[in-house]
């Protein structure tokens, strides 16, 4: 440990102080954080955990036979090598693929959250490295978070950030909102997190303040816990995947009551008349009325009518969580939520209208800072080929095949080399057996990791990297009010090195060192980012002290830009002067452009489309595979706070007592969840906070297959992505649909084997060069 005093640091789940102690690190939350996240507890024993990677490793088969297509990457032994040897191997392989086949056969899409910190931002690092040293890479576009809405919203409303995070603020909700209807809820476990860091968790206190003023919160979700207790919400349990039917019925009811805002719809929107025909069933003879919706959603018609009546009173805000679009036809609830808000006529008013994904991440509902921070420049990528991020298995398995995306047809490239840093596809991707097969296709897979994740175990070359606590960095985002000097808390674990230092060394061997580093080390880059920020923000109204003063102080409060209500406010006040950046300049209830793409799974206006995959007699339950409350994704799953929430070492699945009783399952026991794709074990907790017919198992338990080669793998630990389908949301956006799966659950009586996910894989040491 470097120093014994308390050091301020930052993470995606909060700012905190760390002090090396006898039993690992002592951490305490940043003192001004009104509602800190317990997830900082995962830092306490992370630094020297046995799950970390001690030194560079090469898969034995790869070392012996060289780069090979179709190699079995399950359970081969690793060979521990020196950094020198690892650098030689990686540089030689990058050079081979670059020079013989070109950068178009290198996949550097490398999705993942990695760690907070402006400079050691892994995605910037790897992209800058590949741009400067291999002349580019095949990239991925969009996110697992918001694959469908990222593509949809610009067609029908405007830029993603303007519809989600730059309109309605928590402060407005405290002051003005009378009713928030939250489809998918606003679980405060989720807004604990913001990419890049967060110093003030305001969501729960804001909801409680609004509630005290009389704001009524409605949680439309299969889980009661998707709104916090302080919101004192009305819970409307809904069958997963059916929100569009409910929203349509709410609009039907507004029309029936004559309470839809005709003036708003005609002045600010296009397509209402055609859409109204669909709602009333003029064309298909099926009115989308409350009785119709009751059969689909499981919510009785009277409740739907009462909800509609409630929405006609006072200032009403509609929000739709990311989770709703992370499933088949995920575009529809996002679009339909916007149309519901348009029918209510309050879009652009303070605290009212539509705010996509409020509460799913702590960036939303906050004002931007005056100052915009510079970041590490990534350089230029001359390679045109890309994939929508969740099409990774499709790309690797089907090179040359065509795919639809956002109105055009593209082709999957042939990939020889995959370079991944800062993400864990064996956590984040669906249908892991298919991903495993896809990972056999490239000739070489290189991974930088902090710890032995399943992705590292599937790599040919594993380079151990430092975790955030072992580096100096700048903690800052556009929405958080603190700039934090993230000072190094501990020396690097074993032989781990910073991603930047690894790339710099490789750049040297590829003769591009100067281009990659521009002569700077880490502190040189932190100074550069800081001074570049000063230069670009000279007229922002806030002056930054010089770097050394800031670094010494350790933190700086950033000023907020004023609340101007954002894009929708300007549009509402003067639609001629501030049209929306859609083809019509208005909210598109009907999109001629999307209609023109002629996608069966995404028509020209929001519609109820039945999913291809729904519960059956064999697999009668809906599984919700949502974000974990005890960590960020799979990060530090081995560490103390995450572990303290496991039972029998397994992730906990929550189900309704009636569903459990029907299967002879009792609280606290072990179960097996399964479907046609595989199975996973979990501990079980019974609760009436989950609606009947639904079970919930969060993502992020490290994949721990009993037989890694099985056609239908069984995970000992509780990773739901064994069960989810690798199905795109639609041809429009090709987004991830991992939120839902159909499953059956049975009691597990046999004494289960211990979880091995955190035990490093077997390895041997390479003999010293002279002694071979
Ligand atoms: N079934 C289902 N699946 C889902 C979802 C779902 O709702 N349901 N949600 C999806 C969503 S929204 C997302 S965003 C994805 C998240 O998927 P990921 O972003 O891939 O998940 P993380 O666990 O955050 O992976 C980050 C990895 O980076 C490593 N890391 C941390 N710091 C560093 C660093 O400095 N350098 C390097 N090289 N590595 C580092 C961590 O050890 C970790 O393994 O998952 C998706 N998957
Ligand atoms: N603690 C923690 N916080 C996180 C993350 C994390 O890993 N850990 N990940 C972050 C990331 S990357 C993202 S993208 C966001 C994701 O934000 P979301 O995608 O919104 O988060 P989830 O927890 O997956 O889903 C929220 C809730 O939606 C409900 N839900 C699921 N399906 C349906 C449905 O069909 N209808 C309705 N009405 N409700 C449904 C579920 O009950 C679930 O609890 O969270 C962020 N916050
Ligand atoms: Mo996400």
Tokens of 89: 């191997």
Between the CA of 39 and the centroid of ligand 3 the distance, in Å, is: 17
Do 351 and 173 touch, CB atoms closer than 8 A?
Answer: yes
* 3-state secondary structure at position 693: coil
Query: Tell me: the pLDDT tens digits for 172-212?
Result: 999 999 999 999 999 999 999 999 999 999 999 999 999 99
How far is 190 from 295, CA to CA, in rounded Å? 31
Nearest of 144, 164, 297 to residue 220 by alpha carbon? 297
Pocket test for ligand 1, best of 736, 739, 740, 758 (most atoms within 8 A of CB): 736
Read off the pLDDT of each residue in 126-144 and give the average, rounded to a whole number: 98
Q: What DSSP letter does each residue of 533-553 carry, written as one string?
A: HHHHTTTSS-PPPPHHHHHHH
Q: What pLDDT band is residue 770 in, cutting at 50, 70 and 90? A: low
Ligand number nearest CA of 421 is 1
Do 106 and 419 touch, CB atoms closer than 8 A?
Answer: yes
Nearest of 146, 141, 97, 99 to residue 123 by alpha carbon? 141
Which residues, by Cβ under 5 Å, contact ligand 3, an ion? Answer: 145
Ligand 1, atom 25, residue with closest C-alpha: 423
Query: What count of residues does the chain have?
Result: 772
Do 654 and 625 touch, CB atoms closer than 8 A?
Answer: no
Q: What pLDDT band is residue 2 in, cutting at 50, 70 and 90? A: very low
Closest ligand 1 atom to 739 CA: 8
- What is the torsional sign of CA 725, 726, 728, 733? positive
Nearest of 683, 737, 678 to residue 710 by alpha carbon? 678
Beta bridge partners of 445: 418
Question: Average model confidence (pLDDT) for the chain?
Answer: 97
**Domain boundaries defined on the chain:** 7-43, 57-144+384-469+494-535, 147-368+565-589, 621-747
Do 498 and 521 touch, CB atoms closer than 8 A?
Answer: no
Between the CA of 322 and the centroid of ligand 2 the distance, in Å, is: 6
Pocket test for ligand 1, best of 633, 740, 757 (most atoms within 8 A of CB): 633
Query: Tell me: the pLDDT tens digits for 211-249?
Result: 999 999 999 999 999 999 999 999 999 999 999 999 999
Query: Tell me: the pLDDT tens digits for 659-678?
Result: 999 999 999 999 999 999 99
Instruction: Give Cα 57 to chain centroid, integer Å.
Output: 29
How far is 15 from 476, CA to CA, in rounded Å? 11
Give the CA count within 13 Å in the CB-facing half-sphere of 715. 31
Ligand number nearest CA of 363 is 2
Q: What DSSP letter does each residue of 252-284 carry, written as one string?
A: HHHHHHT-S-HHHHHHHEE-HHHHHHHHHTTTT
Q: Ligand 2 pocket: which residues have CB below 6 Å?
A: 145, 183-185, 187, 189-190, 192-193, 220-223, 226, 238, 240-241, 243, 321-324, 326, 360-361, 624, 626-629, 632-633, 739-740
Q: What DSSP letter does each residue of 16-66 carry, written as one string?
A: EEEEEETTEEEEEE-TT-SS--GGGGGGTTTTT-TTB--S-EEEHHHHHH-
Q: Which CATH architecture has domain 147-368+565-589?
A: 3-Layer(aba) Sandwich (3.40)
Domain 57-144+384-469+494-535: which CATH number of 3.40.50.2300, 3.40.50.740, 3.30.930.10, 3.30.470.10: 3.40.50.740
Tell me whether the CATH fold assigned to 147-368+565-589 matches the one assigned to 621-747: no
Beta bridge partners of 670: 683
Pocket test for ligand 1, best of 391, 613, 635, 720 (most atoms within 8 A of CB): 635
Q: Is the pLDDT of residue 3 over 80?
A: no
Pocket test for ligand 1, best of 9, 46, 114, 728 (most atoms within 8 A of CB): 114
Ligand number nearest CA of 113 is 1
Angle at 560 between CA 151 and CA 576, to 5 degrees: 50
Beta bridge partners of 58: 79, 461
Do 220 and 180 touch, CB atoms closer than 8 A?
Answer: no
Cβ count near 510 (within 10 Å): 20
Q: What pLDDT band is residue 5 in, cutting at 50, 70 and 90? A: confident
Closest ligand 1 atom to 633 CA: 23
Query: Tell me: the pLDDT tens digits for 562-597?
Result: 999 999 999 999 999 999 999 999 999 999 999 999
Query: Tell me: the pLDDT tens digits for 145-181?
Result: 999 999 999 999 999 999 999 999 999 999 999 999 9
Between the CA of 191 and the centroid of ligand 2 the distance, in Å, is: 10
Find the farthest-apart pair of alpha carbons in the chain and give their distance in angstroms, rounded. 87
Task: Give the E-state strand segments of 568-620 in sequence order.
Answer: 587-588
Query: Tell me: the pLDDT tens digits for 636-646?
Result: 999 999 999 99
Q: Is the pLDDT of residue 1 over 80?
A: no
Ligand number nearest CA of 628 is 2
Query: Tell me: the pLDDT tens digits for 595-607?
Result: 999 999 999 999 9
Q: What pLDDT band is residue 22 in, cutting at 50, 70 and 90? A: confident
Residue entry with tokens 């839902």 = 740
Between the CA of 427 and the centroid of ligand 1 the distance, in Å, is: 7
Nearest of 431, 428, 464 to residue 446 by alpha carbon? 464
Angle at 511 between CA 506 and CA 517, to 5 degrees: 65
The catalytic site residues sit at 111, 113
Q: Which CATH architecture has domain 621-747?
A: Beta Barrel (2.40)
Ligand 1, atom 47, residue with closest C-alpha: 428
Between the CA of 633 and the centroid of ligand 3 the distance, in Å, is: 9
Closest ligand 1 atom to 421 CA: 38
Question: Can you state the angle between helices 499-509 and 83-101, rounded to 10 degrees?
Answer: 60
Task: Give the E-state strand segments of 519-631 in sequence order.
Answer: 555-557, 587-588, 621-624
How far is 36 from 28, CA to CA, in rounded Å? 9
Q: Ligand 1 pocket: which residues have CB below 6 Å?
A: 112-115, 120, 122, 143-145, 326, 421-424, 427-428, 448-451, 453, 465, 467, 499, 625-626, 632-635, 699, 720-721, 724, 738-739
Do 93 and 417 touch, CB atoms closer than 8 A?
Answer: yes
Between the CA of 761 and the centroid of ligand 1 the distance, in Å, is: 21
Between the CA of 741 and the centroid of ligand 1 the distance, in Å, is: 20
How far is 77 from 61, CA to CA, in rounded Å? 8
Q: What pLDDT band is residue 751 in, cutting at 50, 70 and 90? A: confident
Between the CA of 452 and the centroid of ligand 1 the distance, in Å, is: 14
Residue entry with tokens 């420049």 = 377
Nearest of 317, 313, 321 to residue 346 by alpha carbon? 317
Question: Can you state the angle between helices 499-509 and 122-133, rounded to 10 degrees?
Answer: 0
User: For the chain, what percent of residues have pLDDT higher than 70?
Assistant: 99
Ligand number nearest CA of 427 is 1
Query: Tell me: the pLDDT tens digits for 85-132?
Result: 999 999 999 999 999 999 999 999 999 999 999 999 999 999 999 999
Ligand 2, atom 14, residue with closest C-alpha: 145
SS (H, E, C) 144-192: CCCHHHHHHHHHHCCCHHHHHCCCCCHHHHHHHCCEEEEECCCCCCCCC
Read off the pLDDT of each residue in 443-449 and give the average, rounded to a whole number: 98
Cα separations in angstroms, 558 against 8, 12, 365? 17, 18, 17
pTM > 0.75: yes or no: yes
Q: Is the pLDDT of residue 760 over 60?
A: yes
């Amino acid at each position: 440990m470097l120093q014994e005093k308390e050091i301020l640091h930052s993470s995606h789940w909060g700012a905190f102080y760390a002090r090396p102690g006898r039993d690992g690190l002592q951490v305490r939350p940043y003192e001004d954080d009104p509602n800190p996240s317990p997830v900082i507890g995962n830092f306490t024993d992370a630094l020297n955990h046995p799950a970390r990677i001690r030194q560079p490793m090469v898969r034995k088969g790869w070392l012996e036979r060289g780069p090979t297509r179709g190699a079995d990457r399950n359970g081969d032994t690793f060979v521990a090598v020196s950094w020198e040897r690892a650098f030689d191997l990686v540089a030689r392989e990058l050079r081979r693929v670059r020079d013989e086949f070109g950068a178009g056969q290198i996949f550097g899409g490398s999705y993942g959250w990695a760690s907070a910190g402006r400079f050691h931002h892994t995605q910037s690092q790897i992209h800058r490295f590949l741009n400067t040293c291999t002349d580019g890479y095949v990239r991925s576009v969009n996110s697992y978070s918001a694959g469908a809405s990222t593509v949809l919203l610009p067609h029908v409303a405007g830029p993603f950030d303007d519809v989600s995070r730059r309109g309605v603020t928590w402060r407005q909700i405290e002051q003005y909102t009378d009713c928030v209807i939250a489809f998918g809820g606003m679980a405060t476990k989720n807004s604990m997190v913001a990419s890049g860091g967060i110093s003030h968790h305001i969501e729960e206190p804001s909801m409680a303040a609004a509630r005290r003023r009389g704001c009524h919160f409605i949680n439309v979700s299969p889980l009661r816990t998707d709104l916090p207790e302080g919101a004192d919400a009305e819970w409307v349990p809904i069958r997963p995947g059916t929100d569009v039917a409910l929203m349509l019925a709410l609009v039907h009811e507004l029309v029936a009551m004559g309470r839809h805002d005709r003036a708003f719809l005609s002045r600010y929107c296009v397509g209402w008349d055609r859409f109204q025909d669909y709602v009333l069933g003029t064309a298909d003879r099926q009115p989308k009325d409350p009785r119709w919706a009751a059969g689909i959603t499981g919510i009785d018609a009277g409740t739907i009518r009462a909800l509609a009546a409630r929405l006609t009173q006072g200032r009403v805000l509609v929000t739709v969580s990311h989770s709703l679009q992370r499933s088949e036809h995920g575009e529809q609830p996002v679009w339909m939520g916007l149309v519901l808000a348009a029918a209510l006529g309050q879009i652009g008013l303070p605290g009212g209208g539509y705010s996509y994904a409020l509460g799913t991440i702590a960036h939303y509902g906050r004002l931007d800072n005056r100052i915009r921070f510079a970041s590490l420049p990534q350089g230029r990528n001359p390679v045109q080929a890309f994939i929508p991020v969740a099409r990774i298995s499709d790309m690797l398995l089907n090179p040359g095949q065509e795919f639809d995306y956002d109105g055009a047809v593209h082709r999957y490239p042939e990939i020889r080399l995959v370079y991944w840093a800062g993400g864990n596809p064996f956590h984040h991707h669906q249908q892991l057996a298919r991903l495993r097969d896809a990972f056999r296709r490239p000739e070489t897979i290189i991974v930088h990791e902090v710890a032995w994740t399943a992705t590292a175990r599937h790599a040919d070359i594993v380079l151990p990297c430092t975790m955030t606590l072992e580096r100096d960095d700048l903690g800052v985002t556009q929405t958080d009010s603190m700039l934090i000097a993230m000072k190094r808390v501990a020396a690097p674990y074993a032989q781990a090195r910073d991603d930047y230092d690894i790339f710099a060394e490789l750049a040297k061997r590829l003769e591009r060192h100067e281009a990659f580093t521009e002569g700077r080390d880490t502190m040189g880059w932190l100074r550069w980012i800081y001074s570049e920020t000063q230069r670009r923000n000279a007229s922002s109204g806030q002056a930054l002290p010089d770097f050394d003063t800031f670094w010494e102080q350790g933190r700086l409060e950033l000023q907020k830009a004023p609340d101007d209500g954002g894009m929708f406010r300007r549009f509402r006040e003067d639609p001629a002067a501030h049209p929306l950046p859609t083809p019509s300049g208005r909210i598109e209830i009907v999109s001629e452009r999307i209609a023109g793409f002629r996608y069966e799974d995404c028509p020209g206006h929001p519609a109820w489309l039945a999913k291809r995959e729904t519960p059956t007699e064999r697999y009668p339950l809906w599984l919700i595979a949502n974000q974990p409350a005890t960590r960020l994704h799979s990060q530090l799953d081995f560490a103390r706070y995450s572990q303290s929430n496991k039972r029998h070492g397994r992730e906990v699945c929550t189900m309704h007592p009636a569903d459990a009783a029907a299967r002879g399952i009792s609280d606290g026991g072990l179960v097996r969840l399964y479907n046609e794709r595989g199975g996973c074990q979990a501990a079980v907790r019974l609760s009436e906070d989950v609606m009947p017919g639904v079970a919930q198992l969060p993502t992020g338990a490290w994949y721990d297959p009993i037989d890694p080669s099985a056609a239908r793998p069984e995970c000992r630990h509780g990773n739901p992505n064994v069960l989810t389908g690798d199905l795109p949301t639609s041809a429009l956006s090709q987004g991830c649909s991992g939120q839902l799966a159909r499953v059956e659950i049975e009691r597990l009586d046999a004494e289960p084997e211990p979880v091995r996910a955190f035990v490093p894989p077997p390895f041997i040491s390479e003999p010293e060069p002279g002694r071979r």
